[in-house]
Amino acid sequence: MFLTKEIEKRRTFGIISHPDAGKTTLTEKLLLFGGAIQVAGAVKSNKIKRHATSDFMEIERQRGISVATSVMAFDYCGKRINILDTPGHQDFAEDTYRTLTAVDSAIVVIDVAKGVEPQTEKLVNVCKDRNTPMIVFINKLDREGLDGFELLDEIEEKLDMKVCPLSWPVGMGQRLKGVYNIFERKLNLFRPHGKQEDEDTIVISDLNSDELEHHLGEKEADELRSELEIIETVYPTLDIEKYRAGKLNPVFFGSAINNFGVKELLDCFISIAPGPLARQTDSRTVEPTEKNFSGFVFKIHANMDPRHRDRIAFLRICSGKFERNVNYQHVRLGRQMRFSNPTAFMAEKKSIVDEAFPGDIIGLYDSGNFKIGDTLTEGESIKFVGIPNFSPEQFRYVVNKDPMKTKQLDKGLDQLMDEGVAQLFTKLDNNRKIIGTVGALQFEVIQYRLEHEYGAKCDYEPVSIYKACWINSKDKEKLREFELRRKNNLAYDKKGQLVFLAESQWALQRVQEAHPEIEFLFKSEI
Ligand code: G4P
């Protein structure tokens, strides 16, 4: 009973956006509502500043700060809300993809002037793969941007979403008068800089009343009425079940920096967003309400500071109750482990927790026992599935610069890959090792860490690869034949799965056409 109550309280979600759309600002405003922070600006340190992108040590320093804000928990209206931070920096996109496996829903922030941007598309697709429910927040209404209907069209087209507007802007930029909250039938009048007072929110139960004219002016009131009429005819009304199944996406408009439209978003979120969901393992579905504890590691953060070489493994609790100093089964290693200082994250503060519940994220100090995807249970041998490995976008040969340190290099590479820093492929024809990453920065990080943590030195050589595709076929004979014929382009990943290294999009297309019986996949399971 107690467990069910705790589970029902939890809402665990991530905010996703293209960099600069306003994710950090929105996060901060949500935390202010929850009373988790007192002043604006507290979350800013979490953001990797654009000017620092060429200096990876500076980025790592900032990432160090961001450990504290990796998960931000706060209480609001009787709910415990866990916001999982998703790095906006393109080079850490893999971190973001994996973090999205630990959420139950997401909020997508879109810049009203820029519309749907490339990173938005990528992240939304990752959520769609898992049918994650998403609410869209169109931000920066205080600036001139695209027309509301144009934006909805773009979202439907580019993100393949079925949208359902729950609020609608009256004007935009300099002419922004307010937002009509369709969900609650209220008109919110806009005042810049977050000085939203109660009297700025007016209940409009009858859209035909001249109260609209009184607050907005004749032209705007008329426009709003006719736009709402279009919305009513064109777009579906809110169906919570469809939203929760990932088949309908509510849309809100606002301006995060002005704290405008944010409360409406939060209030709707807590009333419709799903609580902790059941999760799939290799043998069965685990329900959050099960008595026995289970959870999985979705992120590992290594400290680059040489004085504190510890790592933190982030664990999502999936079922039961986690308790401090109790023995749990590390399924992959087949042994018991207990944790004396599991950490919870409350906005800026980290604290040791005695217990945690489904939906919660805790940090476990680790000296190298964990890798991404590891499962902890009370004894059952299960593994949570669905944590993706995507095809990297940049590839380089690794060259051992100090043959006396081969063992150290191998060990270092092995552990860094387990942390999810990059992916390692071993060529079939010559056993050479290739590192694949999402961003160029990771190559420097690996080089630096190999030297400082493992005493090994490496260099890189260019290799012309466009994509790595995991291959498979129902016809094992054909697969064998393919393996023999294409040996020069094949490699094993860390799990020993066959990967085709395509030199160009054109080359990939040709090989696909020549071998229709072979499946080429851009993603695999960790
Ligand atoms: P991100 O985490 O998605 O990358 O974006 P972030 O919140 O940092 O916002 C990016 C920029 O957009 C910031 O300005 C921020 O102040 C601004 N911004 C966020 N919400 C709104 C809004 O509703 N209206 C307007 N006009 N601007 C908004 P910056 O100048 O890049 O950074 P800063 O100097 O303000 O920190």
Within this chain, do residues 160 and 250 fall inside the same structural domain, yes or no? yes
Within this chain, do residues 263 and 310 fall inside the same structural domain, yes or no? no
Least confident of 146-155, 266-275, 416-425: 416-425
State the DSSP string of 404-460: GGHHHHHHHHHHHHHTTS-EEEEETTT--EEEEESSTHHHHHHHHHHHHHH---EEE
Within this chain, do residues 403 and 446 fall inside the same structural domain, yes or no? yes
107, 142, 257, 258, best to mutate for ligand 1 pocket (most atoms within 8 Å of CB) = 257
Q: Which of 349, 377, 405 is where one domain is finished?
A: 377
| Sequence-separated (6 or more) residues with CB below 8 Å from residue 305 | 64
Q: Domain holding 62: CATH number?
A: 3.40.50.300
Q: Which of 377, 412, 447 is where one domain is finished?
A: 377
Does residue 37 belong to any structural domain of this protein? yes
Helix (H/G/I), strand (E/B), else coil: 418 = helix
Residue 237 has phi, psi (to 5 degrees) of -85, 165
Q: Provide the pLDDT confidence category of residue 148 given band limits of 50, 70 and 90.
A: very high
Sign of CA pseudo-dihedral 209, 214, 200, 155:
positive
pLDDT, residue 166, reads 96
Cα–ligand 1 centroid distance for 21 (angstroms): 7
Within this chain, do residues 363 and 465 fall inside the same structural domain, yes or no? no
Cα–ligand 1 centroid distance for 198 (angstroms): 25
Does residue 98 belong to any structural domain of this protein? no
**79: pLDDT strictly greater than 80:** yes
Query: What residue's CA is closest to ligand 1, atom 25?
Result: 140
Query: What residue's CA is closest to ligand 1, atom 17?
Result: 22
| Sequence-separated (6 or more) residues with CB below 8 Å from residue 128 | 160, 246
Query: What residue's CA is closest to ligand 1, atom 33?
Result: 44
Cα–ligand 1 centroid distance for 143 (angstroms): 12
DSSP state of 223: H
State whether the beta carbon of 142 lies less than 6 angstroms from ligand 1.
yes
Query: What residue's CA is closest to ligand 1, atom 36?
Result: 44
The CA distance from 328 to 226, in Å, is 60
Within this chain, do residues 10 and 119 fall inside the same structural domain, yes or no? yes
Query: What residue's CA is closest to ligand 1, atom 10?
Result: 20
The CA distance from 456 to 503, in Å, is 29
Residue labelled with tokens 């069209």:
153
The CA distance from 464 to 249, in Å, is 40
The CA distance from 439 to 92, in Å, is 7
Sign of CA pseudo-dihedral 374, 378, 379, 385:
negative
Within this chain, do residues 14 and 64 fall inside the same structural domain, yes or no? yes
Inter-CA distances, 39 with 184, 344, 416, 502, Å: 28, 21, 37, 50
State whether the beta carbon of 112 lies less than 6 angstroms from ligand 1.
no
Does residue 417 belong to any structural domain of this protein? yes
The amino acid present at 302, given as its one-letter code, is A
State whether the beta carbon of 107 lies less than 6 angstroms from ligand 1.
no
The CA distance from 95 to 139, in Å, is 24
Within this chain, do residues 31 and 145 fall inside the same structural domain, yes or no? yes
Within this chain, do residues 25 and 164 fall inside the same structural domain, yes or no? yes
Q: Which of 272, 307, 337 is where one domain is finished?
A: 272
Q: Which two tokens stand for residue 168?
A: 């609608």
Strands, DSSP E only, in 360-466?
361-366, 375-377, 388-390, 394-400, 423-427, 433-437, 458-462
Q: Which spans in 247-404 are helix H?
A: 262-272
Residue 38 has phi, psi (to 5 degrees) of -105, -30
CB burial of residue 526 (10 Å; 0-12, 13-18, 19+):
buried
Question: For residue 169, which of 193, 198, 194, 137 has the smallest C-alpha distance?
Answer: 137
Does residue 86 belong to any structural domain of this protein? no
Question: For residue 174, which of 197, 186, 192, 188 has the smallest C-alpha distance?
Answer: 192
Please identify, by atom number, the ligand 1 atom nearest to the C-alpha of residue 19.
4
pLDDT, residue 131, reads 95
**Residue 352 in contact with residue 370, Cβ under 8 Å?**
no
Does residue 469 belong to any structural domain of this protein? yes
Does residue 267 belong to any structural domain of this protein? yes
Mean of per-residue pLDDT scores for the chain: 89
Query: What residue's CA is closest to ligand 1, atom 11?
Result: 20
Does residue 82 belong to any structural domain of this protein? no
Please identify, by atom number, the ligand 1 atom nearest to the C-alpha of residue 50.
31
Q: Provide the pLDDT confidence category of residue 192 given band limits of 50, 70 and 90.
A: low
The CA distance from 140 to 257, in Å, is 8
Question: For residue 137, which of 12, 276, 29 has the smallest C-alpha distance?
Answer: 29
**11: pLDDT strictly greater than 80:** yes
State whether the beta carbon of 114 lies less than 6 angstroms from ligand 1.
no
Within this chain, do residues 448 and 511 fall inside the same structural domain, yes or no? yes
Does residue 204 belong to any structural domain of this protein? yes
State whether the beta carbon of 294 lies less than 6 angstroms from ligand 1.
no
Q: Provide the pLDDT confidence category of residue 216 given band limits of 50, 70 and 90.
A: confident
Q: Provide the pLDDT confidence category of residue 158 given band limits of 50, 70 and 90.
A: very high
Query: What residue's CA is closest to ligand 1, atom 4?
Result: 20
Total domains in the chain come to 3
| Sequence-separated (6 or more) residues with CB below 8 Å from residue 66 | 45, 46, 48, 85, 87
Q: Provide the pLDDT confidence category of residue 165 given band limits of 50, 70 and 90.
A: very high
**471: pLDDT strictly greater than 60:** yes
Question: For residue 460, which of 430, 489, 493, 437 has the smallest C-alpha distance?
Answer: 437
State whether the beta carbon of 89 lies less than 6 angstroms from ligand 1.
no
Identify the domain containing residue 187 by its residue range: 2-72+104-272
Q: How many CB atoms lie within 10 A of CB 408?
A: 18
Q: What is the pTM of this model?
A: 0.90
State whether the beta carbon of 355 lies less than 6 angstroms from ligand 1.
no
Within this chain, do residues 252 and 148 fall inside the same structural domain, yes or no? yes
Cα–ligand 1 centroid distance for 424 (angstroms): 36
Q: Provide the pLDDT confidence category of residue 435 given band limits of 50, 70 and 90.
A: very high
**33: pLDDT strictly greater than 90:** no
The CA distance from 104 to 424, in Å, is 30
State whether the beta carbon of 23 lies less than 6 angstroms from ligand 1.
yes
CB burial of residue 499 (10 Å; 0-12, 13-18, 19+):
buried
**518: pLDDT strictly greater than 90:** yes
Inter-CA distances, 91 with 96, 298, 421, 471, Å: 10, 17, 10, 25
Within this chain, do residues 413 and 473 fall inside the same structural domain, yes or no? yes
Inter-CA distances, 483 with 200, 391, 497, Å: 68, 19, 12
17, 18, 20, 53, best to mutate for ligand 1 pocket (most atoms within 8 Å of CB) = 20
Within this chain, do residues 158 and 289 fall inside the same structural domain, yes or no? no
State whether the beta carbon of 143 lies less than 6 angstroms from ligand 1.
yes
Q: Domain holding 466: CATH number?
A: 3.30.70.3280
The CA distance from 255 to 394, in Å, is 36
Helix (H/G/I), strand (E/B), else coil: 473 = coil
pLDDT, residue 307, reads 65
